[in-house]
Structure 1
């Protein structure tokens, strides 16, 4: 599990769609490109300074030729990944005083941006001005999800609602907006072939929306995370080791990246540990073109090599990138985590998986009415306010694991709580039961 020091806090991560390169948006206003191989050996490809203020959001186009960058400077920047140079800048892309928090490449002719005041704009990369503006949200935009089959954009917001925009319509009102969920909605990801959607919240509950039931309200609520779920990531559907269509990665403000199966509900293990730092972003790279980094040891991070007779399996191309407030990009082998073989020979990822999975049962997600007791326990441990869009000058986060809540029926600690102890590098120990008695 190689750690890549980038010298500044990371706000966002994207991977190249074809090459094994990760791009990080930094608090310093830079965008850095990190190239890696199947063993996790890595080097910095380029570093571009696009602003004197922080870069908060990244998105990459379909062929990986351009990266779009937004941040506190309220501009929309374009970086050419081939040359590693700053190609274009749209100053004051959002007229208001609020910084831009999110950007998403939708199609070859469309981008979306969202700012801290809840304003969403659609852009044609070929034009200088935006083509449409939406103002139905009143708090910061936390995440975007693109539904390609319907040409619809789903946005989540700190105002407690999500909205659905039909980008083909000239109407500046959403076609659907959920009821107030009475909590900040921080992240969203599609599962089950985009028929269901998981939304991460401030109190640590995963809200499940069913496309066939409409967007008015969630159909299930899964408690368990002891702190806010700030970022979510789906697994590649072609990943064959598990049911990838129902398994997601969750990044929480308690510093852990977890693999969670939704149907049935089950904790599969702890993927990465960022210590006391909240997890800002989790992404998966599925690039298939590895660069030969042999002979460049002076430029890359040292990682134990595989034996010459070891076969590089196709699944080795998948790497999980996660970032907290610790100025470090963590790269974890996806196949190494689920199979306990990351090519490093120490089995640390396997230990984390076994300790995270062994004591947890697999129970189906139940409805919100059946979860009232668990939600009460979870809510008591999550009173800290989420600061995902806070000013760049204040990049610290004081979230820390809450004390365990004792229940009358059992002596275990809170679900999903991870007890830390003095341990070796990347080894984690998990105690308690996961989503017990849902």
Structure 2
């Protein structure tokens, strides 16, 4: 599948955001500029530019319906921009005492910001005021994620701690042990039962919900820092590393599945995001560009080919059974008790019996396993679609 042409800029891209309903992307630069484009296979069309601050744009997020684009800056400000025309609607010039580094929209009314000194603030966009301040971290807040069902915010930072917060309460719910490593990225997987965290040393650590003292598993293999994580579904993530590679990693079982793209060794990746249509993944790096990667095939079910193959397989099964089963085998189950029949089938699947036709039994088992995997694949796709729909609906 083709992809839109890369977006090239004169300066480094710190963050970008996909519009939730349209083929539109906004990029925040080190210069403080925000550029918005409509992307497509034929061409990318620039819609507007805005410069809400004089220093670098460190975070961008659209609200749920895509009408407002929020940005945070090194100049300590939070800005709300009319996403349709690119004009500034609201600017909080001194939102924090220190430069901002992390932004996350929690729901329709609340967004969270984290700064370079570890302060996290929750903002109500109705009153346009800070409603909660958290001060447990003592170094930059690198990334945050949110569990809407449990009303819990999870943050990781340069001090090596993971923290969890009930956004309805002022005190920290749990603080991890110090990991002696900068924690740079975090996502929730396994339907909120696990948190996956990327570190400066290139380790992916897996945390169990409610057991926040220390990680329960680690995934080694990244040679450099894991600066950004993008969730594909509840069992699969993509990682962006300072070695310029975007990797696919499955979770429990933990396995590297391949590489989606490469910005080059000299261009560490700042951010990767999945477009709402799930056709493309975007990435920005130190090469002053945003790349589009084709990921639609990762969400495909297998199409008509798999269904045709399944039908052919079932037909072959029926032919094999009709041609290889003897009259004695056909009449025996009718004479046997149903419980005895079940025991015989169980023994066939677990014991190597030379008196039976092993080749037919093995073929049958293989086909059952294959059909089971195809069904699991369809169920997994449905789960991904439901999870994505619920996630974007809550923002």
Q: Is it true that 1:203 corresponds to 2:201 in the alignment?
A: yes
| Residues 203-244 of structure 1: per-residue CA shift (max 9 Å, x gap) | 000000111x52111100111100000000001xxxxxxxx3
Equivalent residue number for residue 113 of structure 1? 113
Query: 2:123 & 2:55 partners in 1: Cα distance?
Result: 22
Equivalent residue number for residue 290 of structure 1? none
The Cα of 1:338 is off from its aligned counterpart by: 7.8
C-alpha contact 2:34 2:51 (8 A) present in aligned 1 = yes
More moved, 265-274 vs 221-230: 265-274
Equivalent residue number for residue 186 of structure 1? 184
1:319 pairs, out of 280, 301, 308, with: 280
C-alpha contact 1:22 1:285 (8 A) present in aligned 2 = no
| Residues 14-61 of structure 1: per-residue CA shift (max 9 Å, x gap) | 111111111111111011112123x37422222111111111111221
* 1:168-179 pair list within 5 angstroms: 168-169=168-169, 171=170, 173-179=171-177
| Residues 77-103 of structure 1: per-residue CA shift (max 9 Å, x gap) | 011112221111001101x2x210011
Q: Comparing both structures, which one devotes a greater share of its residues to strand?
A: 2
Query: 2:63 & 2:24 partners in 1: Cα distance?
Result: 14
Query: 1:144 & 1:330 partners in 2: Cα distance?
Result: 24
1:261 pairs, out of 250, 261, 264, with: 250
The Cα of 1:138 is off from its aligned counterpart by: 0.1
Equivalent residue number for residue 124 of structure 1? 124
| Residues 243-278 of structure 1: per-residue CA shift (max 9 Å, x gap) | x32111100000111111122222222112111110
Query: 2:238 & 2:251 partners in 1: Cα distance?
Result: 10
Larger Rg: 2
Q: For structure 1, which runs of at least 5 residues remain unmatched after alignment?
A: 236-243, 288-316, 340-438
Question: Which secondary structure does the structure 2 equivalent of 1:130 belong to?
Answer: strand
The Cα of 1:164 is off from its aligned counterpart by: 0.8
The Cα of 1:318 is off from its aligned counterpart by: 2.1
Question: Which secondary structure does the structure 2 equivalent of 1:28 belong to?
Answer: coil
| Residues 301-348 of structure 1: per-residue CA shift (max 9 Å, x gap) | xxxxxxxxxxxxxxxx52100000111000111125788xxxxxxxxx
Q: Is it true that 1:219 corresponds to 2:208 in the alignment?
A: no
* 1:337-348 pair list within 5 angstroms: none
Higher relative contact order (CA 8 A, sep 6+): 1
Equivalent residue number for residue 12 of structure 1? 15
Question: Which secondary structure does the structure 2 equivalent of 1:51 belong to?
Answer: coil
Equivalent residue number for residue 155 of structure 1? 155
C-alpha contact 1:40 1:331 (8 A) present in aligned 2 = no
What's the TM-score once normalised by structure 2's chain length?
A: 0.72
Query: 2:126 & 2:298 partners in 1: Cα distance?
Result: 41
Question: Which secondary structure does the structure 2 equivalent of 1:264 belong to?
Answer: coil
CA-atom RMSD in angstroms: 1.7
| Residues 98-123 of structure 1: per-residue CA shift (max 9 Å, x gap) | 21001111111111110000001111
| Residues 120-168 of structure 1: per-residue CA shift (max 9 Å, x gap) | 1111112243111111100000001011001111111110011111111
C-alpha contact 2:138 2:159 (8 A) present in aligned 1 = yes
Question: Which secondary structure does the structure 1 equivalent of 2:172 belong to?
Answer: coil
More moved, 257-266 vs 56-65: 257-266
Q: Comparing both structures, which one devotes a greater share of its residues to helix?
A: 2
Equivalent residue number for residue 21 of structure 1? 24
Question: Which secondary structure does the structure 1 equivalent of 2:296 belong to?
Answer: helix
- How many residues are paired up? 297
Question: Which secondary structure does the structure 2 equivalent of 1:131 belong to?
Answer: strand
